[in-house]
């Protein structure tokens, strides 16, 4: 696909399947931006992901940075809109249907199932990213240490960066 139009179309389609947020589909975003389109390289993807995690706000900053790297300011704006706009429209109309079904018992079951699915997708994405970025045993050990530090100490991951 060509230029900004390709960026918008690919990321719009990505947005529609990004159940659980951008982090849930990081391997897909990696594949699109690094392997398929070549907008950025693997190391840049990792850096952008780290910046997005350290920055306050939503984690879609990774997508914005990819668009910026590939096509400048217009790419950043279009990438952000491509990820936000389709899911916003979908939720707008879906919420109307959900509101009509609020009295049904299976609605709660679906909500709980969706939460579990989102957590599972995020964990699977974390695993896929860890496999791609860790090149040696030292990197794997650092990853495991970081996970244990955050889980056991309840401290923010930024403590490990600083």
Q: How many domains, in total, are found in the chain? A: 1
Tens of pLDDT along the chain (162 residues) come to: 578 998 999 888 888 877 667 777 788 888 899 999 999 998 899 889 888 888 887 778 999 999 999 999 999 999 999 988 988 888 888 888 878 877 777 777 887 888 888 788 778 877 877 777 777 888 888 888 888 888 899 888 778 776
DSSP 68-130: HHHHHHHHHHHHHHHHHHHHHHHHHHHHHHHHHTTTSHHHHHHHHHHHHHHHHHHHHHHHHHH
pLDDT of residue 8: 92
Q: Which residues form the domain of 48?
A: 3-161
Q: What is the pTM of this model?
A: 0.69
């Amino acid at each position: 696909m060509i230029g900004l139009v390709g960026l918008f179309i690919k990321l719009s389609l990505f947005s529609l399947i990004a159940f659980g947020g951008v982090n849930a589909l990081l391997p897909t975003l990696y594949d699109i931006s690094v392997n398929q389109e070549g907008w950025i390289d693997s190391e840049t993807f990792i850096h952008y992901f780290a910046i997005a995690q350290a920055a306050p706000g939503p984690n879609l900053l990774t997508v914005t940075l990819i668009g910026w790297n590939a096509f400048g300011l217009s790419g950043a704006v279009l990438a952000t809109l491509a990820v936000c706009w389709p899911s916003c429209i979908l939720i707008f109309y879906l919420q109307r249907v959900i509101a009509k079904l609020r009295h049904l018992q299976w609605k709660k079951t679906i909500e709980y199932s969706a939460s579990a699915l989102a957590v599972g997708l995020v964990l699977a994405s974390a695993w896929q990213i860890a496999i791609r970025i860790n090149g040696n045993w030292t990197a794997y050990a650092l990853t495991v240490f970081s996970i244990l530090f955050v889980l056991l100490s309840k401290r923010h991951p930024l403590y490990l960066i600083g």
